[in-house]
Structure 1
Amino acid sequence: MERATRISVKPVARKGGVTTTVPRMVPEEVPIAFSYGGSSHAVMMATPADLVDFAVGFSITEGIIADRSHISDIELLEAEKGIDIQVTLVDDVGEALRKRRRSMAGPVGCGLCGIESIEQAVREVADVSTVHLSLSHDDIVRAVSLLNDSQPLFRETRAVHGAGFYIPGRGLLAVREDVGRHNALDKLCGAVIRAEEPGASGAVVVTSRLSVEMVQKAAILGAGVLIAISAPTVLAIRTAEAAGMTLVALVRGEDFEIFTHPHRLSLESPAAF
């Protein structure tokens, strides 16, 4: 299935005191529905690219499945205004999901639905404290630099997020882009899982801020290091600390800040910690 990921528009631009029309590329954003066993589960606004990776990554990071082998088929169906990703699960997993849906069904205002949603939002994060990965100062700088150089959609539009998987000595295994930062990371997780690369072998690097969901998804992948060009939230720092994850943020050229578990980084001045 081929869908345009960007289109050309001609906004009226005011530059240097002159009004003119300048062609500009803008990213496409469409509703992407995830359906399991024929029943709709969620709808995300996303860039219509790398959708099989998206399906695998979303299914695992959202706890719908525990392993890629639990998916027996993925079909992309064009809808009038978006795309429906039909995911077929193996029998036992599909039945477990159906039972879970039935147990969650209840009258509006039952009181439990909101609590369940809160518990899901702050769910226990995967433990990555045993991940043995060593990164140098140059690795951090190189990972972000490579990611910046590997985003064709961002170069054209300046309006999408990127996520990459950096392996020391090898570079970037994969890069995925999307209008949504969570979507970009889900697509990346799917790509790494489909490549059968252990999440513990590298670091996740993203162009967005670090929220708790980004930490949760990286931990589910098995990555012990998460790198970002922007800042983390307090809950992201607490969650990474509890998970044993090294959180590196605010990477600007040669400079960056390490918020949790600096032992995985070999720097010139370890005494600073």
Structure 2
Amino acid sequence: MHALDRITPTGAGGPVDRAIAVETPIAIEFNGIGYAVMMATPADLTDFAHGFALSERLADSAADIVAVDRHATERGEIVRVTLIAARMERVVERVRHRVSESSCGLCGIENLEQALRPLPRLDVVSDAQDAALFRALDALAAHQPINAETRAVHAAAQCTADGAIVRAREDVGRHNAFDKLIGAMARAGSGWDGGFALLSSRCSYELVEKAVIAGCPMLATISAPTSLAIERARQAGLRLVVLARPDAALAVPAG
């Protein structure tokens, strides 16, 4: 809890204690090579490591990840990931194109070809009807314990085709929350099974890419998309629903 001062237009107020979302540097290493430093919520970091490795295409499945070790330091956390030897070439190649200080995975990449790598075309579809989306929206808050305290973190939820939430992960970063969810699913051996992902954030193209790489057939976000997010979703055949609110949502037509 943090001691804060409450102020109001009338001048009434006083000291209050409030929970504040924790944000800390998380250094990620793969087989001893420093790969990135992310600003993240220091929870579910094993899930985060798995999801990050999969989203960055350093690993093809959870089986490629031998171990994840977490080490606390005075300045933050170090997450050391051990990949199978066959994946080391990918790590070395990607490190050549980035620096180890990034909040989005793009800093240090030297050209557009690296930033916008070709996406696979999805060969799965979501069976979710419109009612399922609104059912998931109604249930999302119950799966956000950190946000209930802080009102400062994002959530990413795995939803069934009928709108039930299977699991959710939270983080101060929307990309981190989705990586944690993808990692949790990989560790559990869980697939999308005709369902969808629901994110409490705007729809950036990075989130579209993560969804496609994870084989997610439908992505729904509560805020607006960027033009590039729509373009990438159409290229990959991802069903995209944005500005999803309790009373309405906007579906992006397929390209």
Same fold per superposition (TM over 0.5): yes
Contact (CA 8 Å) 1:251, 1:257: kept in 2 or not?
Answer: yes
What do you get for the CA RMSD once the two structures are aligned? 2.1
CA deviation string 1:18-47 (max 9, x = no partner): 131111110100111110111210010000
1:181 matched to 2:174: yes
Aligned match of 2:20 = 26
1:216 matched to 2:209: yes
Contact (CA 8 Å) 1:240, 1:246: kept in 2 or not?
Answer: yes
Runs (4+) off by over 4 Å: 101-105
Contact (CA 8 Å) 1:206, 1:228: kept in 2 or not?
Answer: yes
**Among 73, 77, 82, which residue is 1:79 paired with?**
73
Shift of 1:261: 3.2
Contact (CA 8 Å) 1:241, 1:261: kept in 2 or not?
Answer: yes
**Among 236, 239, 252, which residue is 1:246 paired with?**
239
Shift of 1:104: 5.4
**Among 53, 56, 64, which residue is 1:62 paired with?**
56
1:15 matched to 2:2: no
1:160 matched to 2:153: yes
The one-letter amino acid of 1:76's match is R
Aligned mates of 1:19, 1:103 — CA distance in 2: 53
Aligned mates of 1:10, 1:213 — CA distance in 2: 36
Q: For residues 103 and 133 of structure 1, do their structure 2 counterparts lie closer, same or farther at Cα, with a shift above 3 Å needed?
A: closer
Aligned mates of 1:116, 1:198 — CA distance in 2: 34
**Among 228, 235, 239, which residue is 2:228 paired with?**
235
1:135 matched to 2:134: no
The one-letter amino acid of 1:121's match is A
Shift of 1:180: 0.4
Aligned mates of 2:178, 2:109 — CA distance in 1: 26
- Larger mean CA deviation between 15-24 and 153-162 belongs to 15-24
Q: For residues 191 and 117 of structure 1, do their structure 2 counterparts lie closer, same or farther at Cα, with a shift above 3 Å needed?
A: farther
Q: For residues 260 and 98 of structure 1, do their structure 2 counterparts lie closer, same or farther at Cα, with a shift above 3 Å needed?
A: same
Q: How many residues align?
A: 246
Q: Identity across aligned pairs (percent)?
A: 38
SS where residue 201 of structure 1 aligns?
coil
Shift of 1:63: 1.4
- Larger mean CA deviation between 213-222 and 192-201 belongs to 192-201
Aligned mates of 1:225, 1:188 — CA distance in 2: 15
TM-score by length of 1: 0.84
Aligned mates of 2:108, 2:248 — CA distance in 1: 41
Contact (CA 8 Å) 2:161, 2:193: kept in 1 or not?
Answer: no
Aligned match of 1:201 = 194
Shift of 1:71: 1.1
Larger Rg: 1
Aligned mates of 1:226, 1:103 — CA distance in 2: 31
Contact (CA 8 Å) 1:245, 1:260: kept in 2 or not?
Answer: no
Shift of 1:103: 6.1
Aligned mates of 1:104, 1:252 — CA distance in 2: 39
1:121 matched to 2:115: yes
Shift of 1:99: 4.6
Unaligned runs of 5+ in 1: 1-7, 106-112, 263-273
Aligned mates of 2:94, 2:222 — CA distance in 1: 38
Aligned match of 1:148 = 141
Shift of 1:124: 1.4
Aligned mates of 2:163, 2:240 — CA distance in 1: 21
Q: For residues 133 and 97 of structure 1, do their structure 2 counterparts lie closer, same or farther at Cα, with a shift above 3 Å needed?
A: closer
